[in-house]
Structure 1
Amino acid sequence: MITGERMAAVDENAAALGVARKQLMESSGHAVARAVRDVADTGSSVAIVAGRGNNGGDAFVAVRFLEGYETTTLLLGRAETIGTEIARENWDALECADYDVREVTDSQAFDLPDADVIVDAMLGTGISGDLREPAATAARAINDADATVVAVDVPSGFDADGGDHADNRVEADHVVTFHDVKPGLEALDAEITVADIGIPDAAERFVGPGDVDLARPTDREGRPYVIGGGPYTGAPALAAQSALRAGAELSFVAAPDSVTGEIQGYSEDLIVQPYEGDVLTPDQVDGLVETAERYENVVVLGPGLGTADETLEAVCQFLESYTGRAVVDADALAVVPDVDTDATLVCTPNRGELERMGGPDADSLADIADEIESFAADLGHVVLVKGADDVITDGSRTRISRSGTPGMKVGGTGDTLAGIVAALMEHAEPLDAAGAGAHVNGLAGERLAEDGGYGYLATDLLEEIPAVLWGETDV
């Protein structure tokens, strides 16, 4: 099962792998035509009601595979406003081949011809809520018609993310959905066909540009709260700065007062909040939890904390009390397997840290992705294991990020990753934020390697993060 939002990401990943969207549309249209042939004999009349997006484009392709049928294609809107180039090309092909195609520019003038089959291709995934004109008028006409209704991907008015169905929806008899079933479709009183349109498994398995689009912030939002520092000061500063670079509105660092001046010295953009002592101890936990819960921060727990017994005890107590979202990194990871927590965690170990947590070990993380998935299932949290290939899993779904370069072995790149993931978690689901964060961090390293080989530092990555997320770059 796949949501409409995730399906859009997979489509984009497939294109990045070399499977052109035009090729996928051809396969989708052919699948729709097969469904029409299954419900109506040659010579039957077919009315196609199409929108101006790729859902309509799929139907335009289907018309070419319905030779022997009497087809009429109604486009809701003007042809020059068709939203994508490939859909427009397929409309043009119908016009040039002298098919019966008509533009509907006024909902009051919508005239649905008598037909044996109606193909609903008005709105696909990504659209939710009640239908608006001219789709609302068209839907009423479709539902009132004495015809078999075949919907393309989802019936118009169906929310492919939440499974809700608008009150003025199209009532389909058959649904041809692509690649995988969408949530809620199986509850409809309709026959569901899942069509394989040639999207490779790699489009779901490997993190790509679609995953970055899915997690990319659309506005400054969120205030990550980095709890780190003590023995080390650079790590929390890097995590906090990378969160800002990835779209956070503000970035806070809670650290012992003995090192807050040094941490603040790395960047005037950080808000550093001191507490008494040289390291984190249980005495500070209640205050840290209260602050994180009150402001609903995404916490980054671990950078630079060290491994003092009292610090690890404090980490345990924090996780036992905290109920929000957190990225757990570095020294804090060791306690996670033994802690009962209601928090939503993304754990970001490297290979050695994963093994110390009780996870599997191998030279190639991709080769043991299934074992890491099982480990995450037992752990009950999202795990992002850092290596030449990063493995990201929530225990049932697993993705692999292949971005990055050997130059990223330099210290601090794991801290930048933690900050990016925290920023993306402000609006993206944990698995999506973790996958996109790993990919963005790796692509930032690739950009640096193009210019400077392996001699770059983790601080250099900070400058590249915005370019990867929002700039002119091939993600």
Structure 2
Amino acid sequence: MDAITSSRMKAIDSNCEYLGMDPLQLMENAGAGIAREVHSRLDTGKVLFIAGRGNNGGDAFVAARHLALCDGCEVKVVLLGRSSQIRTSEAISNFRLLKHSGITEVMEITDSLELDKLSEWKETDIIVDGILGSGVKGSPRTLESAAIGHINDSGSFVISIDVPSGLDVDTGEGEVSVKASVTLTFHRPKKGLLLPNASSFIGELKVIGIGVCRDAEDLVGPGDLNNLKKRSYMAHKGNSGRVLVVGGGAYYGAPALAGLAALRAGADIVTLAVPEGIAATVASFSPDLIVHALSGKRLHPGNVSVVSELIKSHDVIIMGPGLGKEGATRQALKRIVPMCKKAVIDADALHDSIISGKQDAEIILTPHSAELSRLTYENVPEDVEGKKALVLEFSKGMQVVTLLKGNTDIISDGDGVKINCTGNAGMTVGGTGDVLAGIAGALLAANNAMDAASCASFINGAAGDLAFKEKGYGLLATDIIEMISTVMKQEL
């Protein structure tokens, strides 16, 4: 079973909720699994749960409730802190249920001196560690640190929930950590738990299934958006991305749509490099766009030196919207692409000679099926599984991230595949692909290409769905742009 990071697990949890699974269901499944594991190791005896104020503590409350139904098990619960300080609604709900579970001792302890007085440390057969979960980083606070020390000194059999408290689940390191006899981690093993430096803390590692929806892993969802890099409050103009759009000539709306979408998706500065004949028209779309006029009616090799200078002051280059397919334009593109460190290649820029397959850059390609067929010299399968296989193979061979647009979007970096199901039939209107390219370009400025492409696909489709609710089949690409911020704030 593949290991995952804590941030990926958090994304999966969020995606489950988006798909309709109540977080209480996952907590209930986790707690029931813990209780079964405890009971399998103890028919009769004393069990002490040490719970924190987050969801790790919530899992402990559920497990304690289930275990209290087992004849011969004497269950006690210690909450580190006041119940009024419990941080999540799920954990609060399950703490309140403890008073109906037959457990007579539920202690709220706020001072490490109170922990010192507990006789249960030496009188308990099994201690269940539910103090700190996989999302906690850094050294434990005084109360939690004291509880960890008592657990390690107790001599009892210790079962840790998800991760030994105090251990960094991604690095396997921790200055003050529980030394568990068994660690029960959820859904998939976490990467840090498999590292050699974690072996002295985790004991036996067991993975408990908690009923995660398969689609929560395979589909792009709001959880994936949560893992995008956040803008620092110390940021200055340009720190969150400078995007250059090289397009226009055959069409003038396409580069403007891509540029406006990039701004709505969080880019600080967007420059459009377009032929001089349309520069004034493109500039008229918005004062927020910086327009740089290129000589000629189409992009041509004589523009390369000018574009190369613009590339130096931008983080991401978007190439293709509205360019046209003239031979001189393709010649210019072939010289421009190798200059880019990060690029989104879309529409008219998508042809088989544009990339070499040995990339030193992070490149996202955004073809539809006909364009992918021209790139691969293969017919694109009708079924999703066939498309996934083709996109995976192509991306691996060309060392790019491919975002295949369609009723279901397929995204691959050559190692894995994600799918996106947001979007609707109203988005067949012209310009939606340009919007997608703009979103991808903005996200690529601060994120890796796979995350940028996957989240751009979701954002574009979800914004289109919100626009469709208002406009129906009369929606326009500009309507989608106006909904980008709403989706990124997750007001879905």
Same-fold status (TM-score > 0.5): yes
SS at match of 1:224: strand
The one-letter code of the counterpart of 2:373 is E
Partner Cα distance (2:84, 2:32) in 1: 24
Instruction: Tell whether the 8 Å contact from 1:319 to 1:343 is kept in structure 2 after alignment.
Output: no
- 1:25 aligned residue: 27
Partner Cα distance (2:481, 2:251) in 1: 19
SS at match of 1:74: strand
Structure 1 residue 427 displacement after superposition? 3.4
Partner Cα distance (1:453, 1:132) in 2: 53
Q: Kindly report which structure 2 residues correspond to 1:389-408, keeping only aligned pairs within 5 A, or say none.
A: 389-408=408-427
User: Which has the larger displacement, 263-272 or 149-158?
Assistant: 149-158
The answer to whether structure 1 residue 198 and structure 2 residue 211 are counterparts is yes
Partner Cα distance (1:394, 1:128) in 2: 29
Instruction: Tell whether the 8 Å contact from 1:217 to 1:247 is kept in structure 2 after alignment.
Output: no
Partner Cα distance (2:78, 2:272) in 1: 58
Q: Kindly report which structure 2 residues correspond to 1:369-448, keeping only aligned pairs within 5 A, or say none.
A: 369-448=388-467
Structure 1 residue 197 displacement after superposition? 0.9
Instruction: Tell whether the 8 Å contact from 2:242 to 2:313 is kept in structure 1 after alignment.
Output: no
Partner Cα distance (1:369, 1:207) in 2: 14
- 1:306 aligned residue: 324
Structure 1 residue 374 displacement after superposition? 2.2
Aligned counterpart in structure 2 of residue 153 of structure 1, from 152, 157, 162:
162
User: Which has the larger displacement, 211-220 or 61-70?
Assistant: 211-220
Structure 1 residue 293 displacement after superposition? 4.4
SS at match of 2:473: coil
After superposition, the C-alpha distances for 1:235-254 in whole angstroms (9 at most, x for unaligned) are 11111100111122222222
The one-letter code of the counterpart of 1:423 is A
The one-letter code of the counterpart of 1:212 is L
User: Which has the larger displacement, 408-417 or 350-359?
Assistant: 350-359
- 1:340 aligned residue: 358
Partner Cα distance (2:50, 2:77) in 1: 6
User: Which has the larger displacement, 63-72 or 213-222?
Assistant: 213-222
- 2:148 aligned residue: 139
Partner Cα distance (1:293, 1:71) in 2: 65
Partner Cα distance (2:318, 2:164) in 1: 42
Structure 1 residue 294 displacement after superposition? 4.7
The one-letter code of the counterpart of 1:233 is Y
The one-letter code of the counterpart of 1:185 is L
Partner Cα distance (1:158, 1:325) in 2: 36
* Distance change >3 Å, CA 163–CA 283, structure 1 → 2: farther
Instruction: Tell whether the 8 Å contact from 1:206 to 1:400 is kept in structure 2 after alignment.
Output: yes
* Distance change >3 Å, CA 263–CA 159, structure 1 → 2: farther
Partner Cα distance (2:115, 2:448) in 1: 41
RMSD: 2.3
SS at match of 2:277: coil
Partner Cα distance (1:8, 1:21) in 2: 12
Aligned counterpart in structure 2 of residue 331 of structure 1, from 344, 348, 357:
348
User: Which has the larger displacement, 121-130 or 212-221?
Assistant: 212-221
The one-letter code of the counterpart of 2:189 is V
For these two proteins, the number of residue pairs brought into alignment is 469
Partner Cα distance (1:10, 1:135) in 2: 27
List gaps (5 residues or longer) in structure 2: none
Aligned counterpart in structure 1 of residue 286 of structure 2, from 267, 282, 295:
267
SS at match of 1:338: coil
Partner Cα distance (1:285, 1:151) in 2: 60
SS at match of 1:300: strand
Structure 1 residue 343 displacement after superposition? 0.5
Structure 1 residue 47 displacement after superposition? 2.2
The answer to whether structure 1 residue 278 and structure 2 residue 294 are counterparts is no
After superposition, the C-alpha distances for 1:173-205 in whole angstroms (9 at most, x for unaligned) are 321111111112112322111111111211111
Partner Cα distance (1:337, 1:471) in 2: 35
The one-letter code of the counterpart of 1:451 is E
Same amino acid, percent of matched pairs? 40
The answer to whether structure 1 residue 230 and structure 2 residue 249 are counterparts is yes
- 2:127 aligned residue: 118
- 1:58 aligned residue: 59
The one-letter code of the counterpart of 1:234 is G
Structure 1 residue 387 displacement after superposition? 0.7
The one-letter code of the counterpart of 2:45 is S
Partner Cα distance (1:432, 1:392) in 2: 10
* Distance change >3 Å, CA 284–CA 146, structure 1 → 2: farther
Q: What TM-score do you get using the length of structure 2 for normalisation?
A: 0.89
User: Which has the larger displacement, 94-103 or 273-282?
Assistant: 273-282
Structure 1 residue 273 displacement after superposition? 2.5
Partner Cα distance (2:149, 2:428) in 1: 60
SS at match of 2:211: coil
Instruction: Tell whether the 8 Å contact from 2:283 to 2:289 is kept in structure 1 after alignment.
Output: yes
Regions of 4+ moved over 4 Å: 216-220, 364-367
- 2:10 aligned residue: 8
* Distance change >3 Å, CA 246–CA 102, structure 1 → 2: same
Instruction: Tell whether the 8 Å contact from 1:242 to 1:420 is kept in structure 2 after alignment.
Output: yes
The answer to whether structure 1 residue 103 and structure 2 residue 104 are counterparts is no
List gaps (5 residues or longer) in structure 1: none
The one-letter code of the counterpart of 2:154 is A
